[in-house]
């Protein structure tokens, strides 16, 4: 497809799906996120050559929130190895809410079910390399910056807002500490986790990370292997099975691409190459970033999810 055709399609689909913003609300339980404009919707796609295709509200920045969970999992595996990480955190869906305590009470697992629920993500964050919270945060953000090529910053308002309202996450962290799963004290583990969630990012940067994941840890633009194929493979499996909270099954059925959402309204998606046909767009794979802060009861962008569904259907992105 020609560039003009791709851009025309994206603009049309953003307009068609914009009404779905009315079906959601901003994340009211985090005061700083509650103030976001729920009517925004934007998308950026980055292709194999690093060219970007944008439509809608594309100049926005937002915090990573739970999107950071898949990146911290990748980072920890890169730094300490897959076996080390999988010994501490499993890769099974839970069927429960992302911040649920029920698995600890009912199932008494020896480790969190997966790194994309809060318990698993807090565990992963506590194990990032470094002796202090500051050192762990710097190693994590440097890893993210290594993929996008420039500095990022922490949204202090979001960080403070989440820190003051993190009662459920504190409860989870105490469960983890009791099970000897944290490398830090509870408040320190919570600190590094909330910091990573509060990193501010734009659509183009997020699409670049999606592109690297789509190509098995390889950056086709700089021609560097940033993390291993094995780590990328597990990450994409987790994104498919657990990445969209309790809507992961429906998302896999109707959209069919590895993705991870966050309650700020962001979604990262990794579309692997499809070499069997040149008729559709992005046959060499791509990274996609969507932002739509109106989220549903499961924590996923209402309009963003529907936009990805239409794009995947029209351009045959599904991996299934």
Q: Which residues are annotated as a binding site for substrate?
A: 66, 118, 162, 169, 193, 245, 263
Cα–Cα distances (Å) from 94 to 99, 294, 301, in that order, read 11, 25, 21
Q: Any idea what DSSP says for residue 98?
A: T
In 1-155, which ranges are continuous DSSP H helix? Answer: 3-17, 31-34, 67-80, 82-86, 102-106, 118-126, 133-148
- Residue 213 and residue 236 in contact, taking contact as beta carbons nearer than 8 Å: yes
| Burial class of residue 4, CB neighbours in 10 A (0-12, 13-18, 19+) | exposed
- Tell me the C-alpha distance between 196 and 69, whole Å: 8
- Length of the chain as a residue count: 320
List residues with catalytic annotation: 66, 69, 193, 245, 263
* Binding-site annotation: residue ranges: 66, 118, 162, 169, 193, 245, 263
Going 122 to 126 to 127 to 129, the CA torsion angle's sign is positive
**How far apart, in whole angstroms, are the C-alpha atoms of residue 48 and residue 287?**
9
Distance (Å, rounded) from C-alpha 163 to C-alpha 278? 48
Distance (Å) of CA 278 to CA 181, 209, 282, 284, 285: 48, 24, 9, 9, 12
Locate all alpha helices (DSSP H) within 51-101, ordered by sequence: 67-80, 82-86
Distances (CA, A) of 295 to 21, 115, 259, 266: 8, 21, 15, 10
């Amino acid at each position: 497809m020609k560039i003009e055709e791709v851009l025309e399609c994206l603009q049309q689909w953003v307009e068609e799906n914009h009404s779905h913003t009315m079906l959601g609300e901003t994340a009211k339980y985090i005061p700083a996120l509650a103030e976001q404009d729920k009517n925004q919707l934007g998308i950026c796609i980055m292709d194999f050559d690093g060219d970007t295709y944008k439509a809608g509200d594309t100049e926005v920045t937002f915090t990573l929130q739970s999107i950071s969970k898949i990146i911290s999992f990748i980072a920890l595996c890169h730094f300490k190895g897959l076996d080390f990480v999988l010994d501490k955190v499993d890769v099974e869906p839970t069927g429960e809410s992302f911040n649920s305590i029920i698995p600890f009470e009912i199932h008494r697992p020896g480790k969190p079910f997966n790194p994309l629920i809060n318990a698993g993500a807090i565990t992963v964050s506590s194990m990032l390399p470094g002796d202090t919270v500051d050192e762990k945060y710097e190693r994590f953000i440097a890893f993210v910056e290594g993929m996008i090529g420039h500095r990022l910053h922490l949204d202090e308002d979001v960080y403070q807002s989440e820190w003051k309202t993190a009662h459920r996450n504190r409860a989870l962290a105490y469960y983890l500490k009791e099970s000897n799963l944290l490398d830090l004290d509870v408040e320190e583990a919570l600190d590094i986790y909330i910091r990573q969630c509060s990193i501010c990012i734009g659509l183009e940067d997020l699409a670049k990370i999606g592109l690297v994941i789509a190509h098995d840890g390889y950056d086709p633009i700089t021609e560097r292997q940033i993390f291993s194929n094995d780590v990328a493979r597990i990450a994409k499996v987790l994104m498919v099975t657990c990445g969209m909270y309790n809507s992961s099954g429906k998302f896999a059925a109707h959209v069919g691409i590895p993705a991870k959402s966050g309650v700020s309204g962001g979604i990262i998606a990794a579309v692997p190459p499809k070499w069997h046909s040149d008729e559709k767009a992005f046959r060499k794979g791509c990274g996609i970033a969507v932002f739509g802060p109106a989220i549903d009861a499961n924590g996923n962008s209402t309009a963003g999810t529907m936009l990805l569904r239409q794009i995947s259907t029209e351009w045959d992105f599904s991996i299934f």
